[in-house]
Structure 1
Amino acid sequence: MRTIRLLAILLSLSLAVGSQAADQKKPNVLIVLADDQAWGDLSINGNTNLSTPNIDSLATTGALLDHFFVCPVCSPTRAEFLTGRYHLRGGVHGVSSGGERLNLDERTIAEAFKAAGYATGAFGKWHNGMQYPYHPNARGFDEYYGFCSGHWGDYFDAPIEHNGQIVQSHGFLIDDFTQHAMDFIEQNKDRPFFCYVPFNTPHTPLQVPDRWFDKFSNMDLKLRARNPQQEKIADTRAILAMCENIDWNVGRLLAQLDKLHLENDTIVIYFSDNGPALWRWNGEMKGKKGTTDEGGVRVPFLIRWPGHIPAGKRIPQISGAIDLLPTLTELTGVQSVSTKPLDGVSLKPLLTSDVKDWPDRMIFSHWAGKTSVRTQRYRLDSANALFDMEADPVQDHNVAAEHPEETARLSQAMQAWKKEMKLPYLAKDDRPFTVGYTAYPFTQLPARDGIPHGGIQRSSRAPNCSYFTHWTSPEDSITWDIDVGTTGKYEAVVYYTVPAADAGSTVELSFQGKRLESKVTEANDPPLHGMERDRAPRDQESFVKDFKPLKLGDIELTKGRGELTLRAPQIPGKSVMDVRLVFLTLKK
């Protein structure tokens, strides 16, 4: 009997410990970030032109933050989400050519969750640095599948990357990103995971499968832009189709959680990185992407965590991307690894309890030399005009004369903030592009980050997805300002196209006195593509081609900073080649 009682006690203790361990399992986190999706692009926010039931369900089963603010453009918002700090503190001041990179002394939310034992993965558009250690694999994400640039030229079967290696995606990009995120969730269902899914839509180019576009191809839109003359109906129809495709993919992610019985153990967040790039209905708000007015920085934000966040909760207090790191670390019990003070605050009290007395605060927005500041009631814009956002949410009436003290208070706060951010920001970014780390031997140097010399031109005025063309003279060259981290031998590959009539040029890659020569002997002359899938004409993204890798050979790179130069001493034809990128691999 004594033995039986002892076994019973041990079994009871074992069950108690097991139950306690289960209770202590930290919640998973799934974050979906849309690209250029407006506050008004959801049916839950009143848009009857489309239906977004899956995204809307996050609010009906969780909470909706009604006044959530981000930056006017993509990469700054992503930096603020990652760090809980204003983007300018982390060196992010642009969207291309290196200005999108997050300083290496900034710690990210993914690093915090990784340190806490979470599996971490990101699937989609990164836009905070391509070269290691700016790369997502160096910023806390064990798994990365997507593209690091600001936009892409074709959303179907595109060349992207998987943990530093160039691979081919399958089908429509965000469908593919979603599938990889779903696979990651299944692979890590038995441990806590932090899954970040930054979609690249409805950012232009306006491409979406027929399944989604057919509904909108001839739709009569009931809701129109604040100024209907500014709206291009063809653009809006395509964007609405892209938004419904996003909603379908969100539904796939939620269904995966349900299938794996993880729905109650996962915090799910959905938001966007800025206001609409193109004019359409957005609740009559003033401004769009690139502006610091309400329409440029107010975006949808929905969050669900069953059993912790009450269903159907609507939160009117202002909040922003800077609040996500402190909020998620407090909700999950994960310790922040940031060594610098945060600008954001934890929203946990607003989400999980009834807060009666929440202190007023200021949230600042900045882009292209213009700054505005938002409090719960007012917005002071970059021209020092004051708007009562409770009485006048569309910013029609400047009330600065009626409220001189409030105008002065916010103006002083804005000037102090700009001084603290060291604005105006220095126009020249002196950070080189990093190359060669033993922990991560792969480095992409895309045309986006290079500088053309002589007659060489970009394929588009927007650098992000461009390539170099019109290379016709031995005096022409392409340079990259690089900092080599490890002295050693590097395999150099250039992704190129060239017609058969122009094949045969000798190209030279050089760095700090070391040179490598190779001949472009094999023709690769694919047609431009992308336009056949566009639902409306594009105005900035380059069309693309199927660039082919050409192994130039091995080159010795010495540790230190200098110019990596690509030139052609011998050109038998009319041109050398078009160049998409140089890929360097540190050899063991």
Structure 2
Amino acid sequence: MNYSRRNFLKAAGISAAAVLSGCAGRLTGPAAQKSRPNILMILTDDQGWGDLSVNGNVNLKTPNIDSLAGEGVVVENFYVCPVCSPTRAEMLTGRYYTRVGVTGTSEGGERINADESTIGDTFKAAGYATAAFGKWHSGTQWPYHPNARGFDEFYGFCSGHWGYYFSPQLEHNGRLVKGNGYIADDFTDHALDFIEKNKNTPFFCYVPYNIPHSPMQVPESYWEKFDGKELEMRHRDPEKENIEHTRAALAMCENIDWNVGRLLEKLDKLGIADNTIVIYFSDNGPNGWRWNAGMKGRKGTTDEGGVRSPFFIRWPAEIRQGTEIPHIAAAIDLLPTLAELAEIPIVGNKKLDGVSLKPLLLGTSSNWQDRMYFSTWNGRVSVRTQKYRLDHEGRLFDMDADPGQRKDVSQKHPEITARLKKAVREWKDETFKPVEPRPFTVGHPGAEITLLPARDGKANGNIERSSIHPNCSFFTNWIDENDSITWDIEVLTAGLYEAQIHYTCKRENVGAELELSFDGERVSRAVKNAYESELKGKEENHVYMRESFVKDFKPMSLGTLRMHGKRGTLRLRAANIPGNEAVDLRYLTLKYKGK
């Protein structure tokens, strides 16, 4: 059996025509007069290929997302990276993430090199209004921040994951703000406002939702449907599956679907749906062992199930609805594809790894060449051609005959195996670029405030993170005057900076004196006000939470520090701890005040 939607549904006894006919029919009337198209790109986080009803999963219903399949084009074999930040890097740059400086998912490893151009740069240069609402995960400080990478408007968080989904602290164009309601709903609200304000000008609206990534928190109205629900479709190795995790993930996917419906409805109401390109895909395979059409692997693996994503693209004015494309494609193709569809030049002069899919989307390709797409994570590399996958251990699988990767055919096809192994070696030699340790930048001319989260700092002495996962963590257990927190920074603009911490402090620990120093300059201030806050997320979690719980933190100024334009260690220590501890710390911010 083949894992294309049509073949899977046929094998499952479900009519593909029936499914797709239920998806089509939203759009009526003639196509709008041709003009430069708007772009609405929706990216989900940890949603597997199988987490949609249009792909045959009867455990949930996703009619709004499914409608994109019926009204647009389905790219059946679309590939992303095994984890979050690499996929974002490839989508943003059109280049393999191993080329562009991305080495990890936290502590600076998620940053795209500053000399790379992005899809935001390209559309902004062409006169588009550009915005991103959601999870950025490609750098926090300028020049890595979304506002520095071609997106005029940003609302969300720059970290790899967030610890609380109900009115959490977020940021808006570099400033910390408080969210409003469930996080995916909030991101959608901001995207709707942006679309409304820019309805008469071309826009590029990027909505990277952060669900169904853990923590598994979802509004009660969605959870009620799945609480205790018997799941008809299970993972191919059901003993691996955590049913509660699956239920929560599916509930979150239905929330995504509702929000996608809100976005599509807005386009319809504004009369701009016909000339808006809508794209929907996910950043990696599912974040749990759940039904995924029998594919091998999940998030973090380079097997089919870890890197195959749903992909739908709708443009009623130009793309024939109900089209299915079997050719392999990938996130690296989105920049060249969208630029060519919009007929705008690509910013930057670096060679792209992606290719434009326009001929496939418009049905003008008569001789599409077979290609290879390489997947890598943690030193493991797999390569996919149209017919075969060579896994990281050198085993070969015929993906047409054996899409579940159960039978190694490398001995049967030694020439193909040797050719693909050689291709992997050559690809690694070409694209695996060493990345020197990079400091966190302070005082970029484009940013008035530099945000240095605990995630980017280093704990010294007894100080501990609130979780082994740095993203959205805070520092705690600051019990000794020899303890300190340090950041490896480079000051891009010398001058005076107002330093501010975001802290909690128990009443009995008031009086702790904190000192911030850099290159011989220092400033210090005693904590005069207690501020205590309860941890959030415990009651809302439906599954054990690996990420850090969060709490509210209070800002406090440490004074003004003169910082020289150089690289060095920024150190925060407690010169005096009169109680049992100093403070818990979430952020340090530095605001440029002038020379």
TM range (shorter): over 0.9
Which of 375, 378, 402 is the aligned partner of 1:368? Answer: 378
Query: Which letter maps to 1:339?
Result: N
What is the rounded CA distance, in whole Å, between the counterparts of 1:41 and 1:51 in structure 2?
9
Whole-Å Cα distance in 2 between the matches of residues 462 and 536 of structure 1? Answer: 17
The one of 73, 83, 103 aligned to 1:73: 83
Question: Residue 450 of structure 2 aligns to a residue in which SS?
Answer: strand
Q: Secondary structure at the match of 1:267?
A: strand
- Native 8 Å contact 2:34 2:275 kept in 1: no
Tell me whether 1:400 sits opposite 2:407 in the alignment: no
Name the counterpart of 1:156.
166
Counterpart in the other structure of 1:533: 540
CA distance in 2: counterparts of 1:548 and 1:507, whole angstroms: 15
Contact 1:132 1:437 in 2 (8 A): yes
> Matched residues in 2 for 1:470 and 1:516: separation?
23
Q: Deviations over 1:176-233 (max 9, x none)?
A: 0000000000001110000000000000000010111111111100000111011011
| Offset, 1:277 | 1.4
Q: Distance in 1 between matches of 2:445 and 2:285?
A: 40
* 1:569 positional shift: 1.2
| Match status 1:477 vs 2:487 | no
CA deviation string 1:94-145 (max 9, x = no partner): 0000000000010001101000000000000000000011000000000000
Alignment map for 1:91-110 (pairs within 5 Å): 91-110=101-120
What is the CA-CA distance between 1:354 and the residue it aligns to?
5.3
Preserved contact between residue 438 and residue 586 of structure 1 (Cα < 8 Å): no
1:11 aligns with none
1:328 offset after TM fit, Å?
Answer: 0.2
2:523 to 512, 516, 523: 516
Q: Find the aligned partners of 2:274 and 2:333 in 1 and give their Cα distance.
A: 23
State the alpha-carbon separation in 1 of the partners of residues 309 and 258 from structure 2. Answer: 19
Q: Which residue of structure 2 lines up, in the alignment, with residue 278 of structure 1?
A: 288
Which residue does 1:567 correspond to in 2? 573
Distance 1:445 1:88 in 2: 25
SS state of the match for residue 189, structure 1? Answer: coil
Q: How far apart are residue 355 of structure 1 and its match?
A: 3.4
Q: Give 5+ residue unaligned stretches, structure 2.
A: 1-31
Output one character per residue of 1:395-443: Cα deviation in whole Å (capped at 9) or x when no partner: 00000000000000000000000111236x56xx411000002321111
Query: In the alignment, residue 574 of structure 1 is paired with which amino acid?
Result: N
Aligned to 2:96: 86
Aligned to 1:47: 57
**Counterpart of 1:66 in 2: which secondary structure?**
strand
Q: CA RMSD in A?
A: 1.0
User: What is aligned with 2:326?
Assistant: 316
Consecutive aligned runs of 4 or more in structure 1 exceeding 4 Å deviation: none
Equivalent position of 2:560 in the other structure: 554
Counterpart selection for 1:422 from 432, 436, 439: 432
For 2:92, what is the secondary structure of its paired residue?
Answer: helix
Residue identity in the other structure for 2:290: R
1:543 maps to what in 2? 549
Matched, 1:36 2:46: yes
Aligned-pair distance for 1:357? 2.5
Instruction: Tell me the distance in 2 between the aligned counterparts of 1:519 and 1:26.
Output: 57
Offset at 1:338? 2.3
Counterpart of 1:450? Answer: 457
Distance across 1 between alignment mates of 2:493 and 2:34: 43
Q: How does 1:349-360 map to 2 (within 5 A)?
A: 349-353=359-363, 355-360=365-370
Match of 2:234 among 209, 224, 236: 224
Separation of aligned partners in 1, 2:88 and 2:57: 26
Q: Which amino acid aligns with 2:472?
A: C
1:260-305 CA deviation, whole Å, 9 max, x = no partner?
1010010000000000111100011000111000000001000000
Match of 1:492 in 2: 499
Indicate the residue corresponding to 1:332 in structure 2. Answer: 342
Q: CA deviation at 1:467?
A: 0.6
Range with greater deviation from structure 2 (506-515 or 521-530): 521-530
SS of residue paired to 2:210:
strand
Give the number of equivalent residue pairs.
Answer: 563
TM-score by structure 2 length?
0.94
Cross-structure match for 1:459: 466
Please tell me the residue identity of whatever aligns with 2:539: E
2:476, 2:288 → 1: CA distance?
29
Q: Which residue of 1 aligns with 2:355?
A: 345
Residue of 290, 302, 311 corresponding to 2:300: 290
Residue type matched to 1:326 in 2? P
CA distance in 2, matches of 1:225, 1:147: 32
Task: State the one-letter code of the partner of 1:151.
Answer: H
Alignment partners' CA distance in 2, 1:78 and 1:417: 20
How far 1:25 moved relative to its partner? Answer: 3.1
Q: Quote the Cα distance in structure 2 between the aligned partners of 1:124 and 1:400.
A: 43
Q: Supply the distance in 2 between the matched residues of 1:72 and 1:93 (Cα, whole angstroms).
A: 13
1:356: Cα distance to partner?
Answer: 4.2
3-state SS in 2 of match to 1:79: helix
In structure 1, runs of 5+ residues without a counterpart are: 1-21
Match of 2:21 in 1: none
Distance in structure 2 (CA, Å) of the matches to 1:335 and 1:521: 56
User: Identity of aligned pairs, percent?
Assistant: 59
**What residue number does 1:4 align with?**
none
Provide the rounded CA distance (Å) in 2 between the counterparts of 1:338 and 1:322: 15
* Counterpart amino acid of residue 60 in structure 2: L
Partner of 1:9: none
* Rounded Cα–Cα distance in structure 2 between residues aligned with 1:226 and 1:326: 36
1:185 to 2:195 alignment: yes
Write out aligned runs for 1:105-120 (5 A).
105-120=115-130
Of 352-361 and 177-186, deviating more is: 352-361
Q: Which moved more, 1:549-558 or 1:246-255?
A: 549-558
TM-score by length of 1: 0.95
> Cα deviation per residue 1:551-578 (whole Å; 9 max; x = unaligned)?
1111111111011100011110010011
Matches of 1:216 and 1:585, distance apart in 2: 46
The 3-state SS of whatever aligns with 2:327 is: coil
Higher alpha-carbon deviation: 429-438 or 515-524: 429-438
Letter in 2 for 1:432: P
For the residue of structure 2 that corresponds to 1:186, the secondary structure is helix
| 8 Å CA contact retained: 2:114, 2:144 | yes
Q: In 2, are the aligned partners of 1:372 and 1:382 still within 8 Å (CA)?
A: yes
Partner residue of 2:447? 440
Letter in 2 for 1:514: E
Q: Quick one: which amino acid aligns to residue 411 of structure 1?
A: K
